[in-house]
Homo-oligomer: A and B are copies of this chain.
C-alpha cells in the first residue's frame, strides 16, 4: 500500500515539459512579464504534441507561475508561484520540522486564548481515543493526527488549521513514520500521552506561553524519539 506510493513513477511527458519550463522561471532566467515560446514552438523543441505542452502550461498556470492570454501568448506571472505553496521541492527536513513546530506552537498559543469548553472536551476526547488505541495494541497514529488537528481547531483560525494539517502531513512523511513501530517496544507511547496532557493543561489554564512551550517540548521530544 504505502510502499507502492513510494515508488517513483516515471514522469509523464507533460510533467517533464512542465519542469523544463519551471526551471528558468525559478532560476530567474525568465523574468516576470517575459513571454514564453509559443505552444507550437515548445511542442517542436521538446518533441511532443501541442496537447502535452498545453497540459504542462496548465499546471504552471494553476500554480501561478505563468499567465496566458488568448491571441497574445503565455507570460511569466508578475508574482511567480503566488497561487500555491509547495513543500515537496527543495524542503530540507530540518527546516520543515522546525516550521511544523512553529506552526503548532502558534496554534497552541491561540488555543490557550480562545478555546471553548467544547474545544477542551474535544481535546480530552482525542487524547482518550489515542489512549484506547494504544491499549488495544495499536500505535494510535490516526488518533495522534486527530489530536493535533483538534488543537489547531481550537485556535479558531481555519487558514492556520489548514496549514497546520498541511505541514503536519509533510513533517510526518519526513520523519519516516514507518519507524513508529519501534516506539511500542521502547514503551514510549506513554511519553507522548503525558506530553499531550501537558499541552491540554496549558491550554486549559489559558496560558499562551506555557502552551507554546508545551508544544515545542512535545515536538522536540518526538524528534528525539525518532533519532533526529
**Given the complex of chains A and B, what is the CA–CA distance between A208 and B54 in angstroms?**
48
With beta carbons under 8 angstroms apart, the residue of B85, B106, B110 that contacts A162 is B85
Listed residue (A90, A110, A162, A170) with the most chain B CB atoms within 10 angstroms of its CB? A162
**Given the complex of chains A and B, what is the CA–CA distance between A87 and B86 in angstroms?**
12
With A95-B160, A98-B157, A106-B106 given, name 4 new contacts (CB 8 A): A14-B58, A82-B169, A99-B159, A102-B160
Main SS class of interface, A: helix
| Cβ–Cβ contact A84 & B63, under 8 A | yes
Contact with B along A57-81 (1 / 0, CB 8 A): 0110011000000000000001101
| Cβ–Cβ contact B159 & A91, under 8 A | yes
A63: which B residues are within 8 A, CB to CB? 62, 84
Question: Which B-chain residue is minimally distant from A109 (CB atoms)?
Answer: B102
Question: Which B-chain residue is minimally distant from A77 (CB atoms)?
Answer: B5
Query: Which A25-55 residues sit within 8 Å CB-CB of chain B?
Result: 51, 54-55
| Cβ–Cβ contact A90 & B166, under 8 A | no
| Cβ–Cβ contact A99 & B59, under 8 A | no
With beta carbons under 8 angstroms apart, the residue of B84, B91, B92, B110 that contacts A84 is B84
Question: Which B-chain residue is minimally distant from A55 (CB atoms)?
Answer: B58
A157: which B residues are within 8 A, CB to CB? 95, 98-99
**Given the complex of chains A and B, what is the CA–CA distance between A169 and B78 in angstroms?**
12
| Cβ–Cβ contact A95 & B59, under 8 A | no
**Given the complex of chains A and B, what is the CA–CA distance between A133 and B111 in angstroms?**
40
- A158 interfacial contact with B, CB 8 Å: yes
With beta carbons under 8 angstroms apart, the residue of B78, B92, B96, B163 that contacts A85 is B163
- A88 interfacial contact with B, CB 8 Å: yes
